[in-house]
Structures are given as structure tokens and as C-alpha cells.
Amino acid sequence: METTRFYLTGRVLIEAGQLVIDEAELGGRQGRLLLAYLVLERRRPAPLEDLIDLVWPENPPGAALTSIRALVSRLRRSLDRSGFSHDALTTASGCLQLRLPGKAGWVDFETAATSVDAAEGKLRHDQAAEAFGFATTANAIAARDFLPGETAPWAVGRRAELRRIRIRAMEAIIDTMCRLKQWSVGVKVAEDLVALEPLRETAYGWLMRANAGSGNRAEALRAYHRCRSILGEELGVSPSRELESVFESMLRPTR
């Protein structure tokens, strides 16, 4: 069968060729949450009780088991329409598990994770040009929100994981641009990273390096002072010795 694509970031949907199954068909908020969980946790069986707690963390319906089974049936029909066999979603011993045969399923969240790993690997081997595509793929996916509005601990944890992937991807893009001397792009992405993570010291370090590389040493020094100010005001700490060293190197006269 051709690859079916599961989009779990941004708008949740299943794409199989020309067929697109969106959140409404999956059962709305509850359906998208169930799909995301079963796809990302597919390597282990999920007890139905855990799924009930996931979907209704505070006020489960009186007939919770019947309700979760109705959601499962709806999801199974969607998988059937996408070309999966009827037993792709199996129930046994009170547990549910999704099985995606071979490479039949592509998952955006997982692609973001593997892409940022690949980008960092390429950079470790000084292959900056090859790293760029992987890093931008990871960043494009991770920039989308994951199940917005969901407060279940599992969703919150996965959302935080996706944010970490995005930060790594952005740092890989900046590193790549600095190595390729594409300074203006490096500065732009570094500014975006500082806006995303204003307390992240390494973001300021990258901003300083990118600005210095572009010949704008004054702006690089301003980035250091921004970092020093916000760390002091918000956390009561000073920049690390590593960042201080970068700053001191920029104070030395150029030859």
C-alpha cells in the first residue's frame, strides 16, 4: 500500500493519496487526541482505562467504556478508508494497539525528531550544506502547535518535546548558516530563537556570533547586554563563563 501520512501537529488529519480525513471525521477533539496517542504510543498496548483517563481526565462520562469504544470504532473506520487492514487497530486483554505495517505510515512528529537528529549528525561531520534540509524540515513541523488546548499530562509532555525539537532545529539552522557564511539568515533565525526562548543563553550566543560574522559587532555586543540584563532581572544570575568568553573576544580590536 502507498504511504499514509499522519499529521499530528497543527491541524490533525490522515492523508492517503487523494483522501483526507480531518478532525471532524475523527470525532473532533476527543478523536484527534485518541489518534495522536495511539500513533505516537503504538509500540505498546494501551489499556482502555488509560485511554479513558486521557480523553476525559477530569469528568469521564457515566458509560466511559462504551464512549471510548465508540471513538475507537470511528477511528477504525477512518483507518479502513485509508487503506489499512481492519486489524490494524487491535483490541486484546482490555488493551488497544495500533499497528502500522512496514513503512506504510509517515508521522510528522516523528519526522521532526529524526530530521533534527540527522541535521545535528551532519553538522558533527562538517556537512553543513546537507544539514540544512533536515534542520528546516524539523523546524517547519515543530513550529506548528501540538493538540492546542489539550491539558492532559501526556499531551502537555509531547508539546514540550516538540518545542525542544524546534529549539534544536533552529540552533542547527543558525549553525549551518554561520558555517556557510549566510550571516543575515543566521541573524534572523537567532532573533526568532531569542523571541521564542528569551531566557535561553545559547540563543544569545548564536545571535552574537551571527551578528559578529556579518560585521555588526555593535549589535553582537548589544545581544550580550540584553542577555545579561534579562538573566539578572528574571533569574538573578549572570551569563556563563562561556558566553563571557565570547563577549570578551568581541571586545578585542580586530587586526
Name the pLDDT band for 223 (thresholds 50, 70, 90): very high
> What's the Cα-to-Cα distance from 231 to each of 69, 157, 221, 238, rounded to whole Å?
50, 26, 16, 6
Output the pLDDT for position 87. Answer: 82
Percent of the chain with pLDDT over 70: 97
pLDDT at 86: 79
* pTM of the entire predicted model: 0.92
Q: What is the mean pLDDT of residues 82-103?
A: 85
pLDDT tens for 28-50 read 899 999 999 999 999 999 999 99
Has residue 178 got a pLDDT over 60?
Answer: yes
Mean pLDDT score of the chain: 92
